[in-house]
Amino acid sequence: MPTHCTRRGTATLAALTAVALLAASGCSDSAGRAEGASSNGRANALATPEDLAAQRLSWKACAAPSATEGGGTAPSPLPGGVPWECASMKVPLDYGKPGGEKIELALIRGRARDRAHRIGSLLFNFGGPGGSGVTALPSFAPDYEKLRSRYDLVSFDPRGVGRSDPVKCKTDQQLDAYYAQDATPDTAAEEKTFTQGLASYAAACEKRSGPSLPYVGTVNAARDMDLMRQVLGDKKLYYFGISYGTELGGVYAHLYPKSVGRAVLDAVVDPNQNAEQGSLGQTKGFQLALTNFEKDCIARGPACKLPGTTPKQIEGFITGLLDRLDKKPIAGLGARKLTQTQATNGIAQSLYSKEFWPYLEQGLDEADGGNGALLLALSDAMNGRDENGNYSNLQAANTAINCVDSKERYTVAQTRAKLPEFRKASPVFGDFLGWGLMSCSKWPVPGQWTHPDVSAPGAPPILVIGNTGDPATPYAGARAMAHALGKGVGVEITYHGQGHGSYDSGNPCVQGAVNGYLLDGKVPTAGTVCR
């Protein structure tokens, strides 16, 4: 089944399954009436009970990540031996009934180095939706060590994710079979199997997590962040949102413009797009990244392992390989074979960072020779599967959040009608992401809106950074977000680079602008261009 992506990878293959934080094609759609949205799409900012706002967190040494967070070992200390600390925070399951059932959200923090000049807590959301912030923050913390000079670095598992009342659907064994299914059906029989798979997955989610499903969307996550701000003792929210985290940050700014402190949105989701437009934009974005990979391979001459002297020739090799896999999967990992769907998924995963391009080249070359292990490992990372066959709840939460956010529900006929445009956008990803429009078609909970409202009149400047080579959140989304936030609020910065995101590229211009704002309050000039 297709899994669509709005979060970067990391530099080493060994880390793939621990840090892939990815998203589905409907990622730009948010929140439902179950979350208290008014008829015009602006949510009612319901008062939080005083007892929850006044709760005291009990910070303790962090345990190893749970299975739903992806497993692994407890995080290593920060530079200087500073330990990571973890806690849980109570929030209402339903903000419409704030005195009713409570759930607990998992938090992690690394304390600021300069306690005398500490600004507050800098809250991170690394994307997804569905990614565990508790596991991601220690993994990416070296990128943000300068910011820890004056901020406590804080992240969390949003509701429905990881340790925070996690959405659960199919078992690990069932997921192996589900992700191996053909996600680009070519015949009526394959279409039937495809839709039955979607229905079976939705039914499993309803059976295991039904009561929570109406409440896992983006508006409730934004409300949780405002409660978190209060519990952490900050008058304003200092925020760093990446990928889907930019949408969450935009929704927060819309709901609580006067509570925004200094905020940065990097790898920006276009808030004006519906599910179809977002998927088509991703299709074009991944195609652009693939073409850039092909050009890079050709520029290396004989060192490039792939056949062809033009991007089109390498693309033809890739589409030919995928066609062969559609007819006959090849050896993968253990008894598991590499299917066309998993290969496409693995290719998409490898385009999140230029550092992954060597793995893509090697994986395609090996698959051409009948060995699909590397592409399958990349696909597993996309799906949150570790080498022992255990799945995090990354994709379960991803689907649940996207489907309560987006009200669009596509039929087979509607999807078929859209496929020509998707195929034109990308011979490699068109069918894959086009059929992904049906991801919510069998979902048991209705969605709310076509796209979120992120207008934030009265909010302070919010930095909005777009990467011209970003595959998952195409560059145009940054300008759209800056405009949608409103005049004097969105401050756009352009980075001419590759991969998903900008700050963690190490580019001195981008990091200088962000650090100057977050640490010193210096607002960069709107329209700043970094190369």
Tally of CB atoms within 10 A around 119? 21
**520 included as an active-site residue:** no
pLDDT, average across residues 324-342: 98
Nearest alpha-carbon partner for 449 in 117, 38, 80, 148: 38
pLDDT at 50: 75
pLDDT at 51: 84
Is the separation of the CB atoms in 446 and 32 below 8 Å?
A: yes
pLDDT at 47: 52
Say yes or no to pLDDT of 477 above 50.
yes
**4 included as an active-site residue:** no
Is the separation of the CB atoms in 179 and 406 below 8 Å?
A: no
Active-site annotation holder among 243, 259, 350, 406: 243
pTM: 0.92
Q: Give kind and range of the element (H or E) at residue 242.
A: strand 237-242
Looking at residue 89, the DSSP 8-state letter turns out to be E
Q: What percent of the chain has pLDDT over 90?
A: 89
Q: Give kind and range of the element (H or E) at residue 350.
A: helix 340-350
What are the tokens at 304? Answer: 């490039």
Half-sphere exposure of 106 (CA within 13 A, CB side): 24
Query: What are the tens digits of pLDDT across the range 59-80?
Result: 999 999 999 999 999 999 999 9
pLDDT at 5: 40
pLDDT top residue among 466 and 10: 466
What are the tokens at 451? Answer: 């796209």
Nearest alpha-carbon partner for 378 in 48, 119, 15, 132: 15
pLDDT at 182: 97
pLDDT at 48: 61
Active-site annotation holder among 500, 502, 504, 505: 500
Is the separation of the CB atoms in 153 and 110 below 8 Å?
A: yes
Whole-number average pLDDT of the chain = 91
Q: Is the peptide bond before 457 cis (omega within 30 degrees of 0)?
A: no
Active-site annotation holder among 234, 453, 470, 504: 470
**117 included as an active-site residue:** no
pLDDT at 23: 33
**What whole-number distance in Å separates Cα of residue 48 and Cα of residue 99?**
9
Query: What are the tens digits of pLDDT across the range 117-174?
Result: 999 999 999 999 999 999 999 999 999 999 999 999 999 999 999 999 999 999 999 9
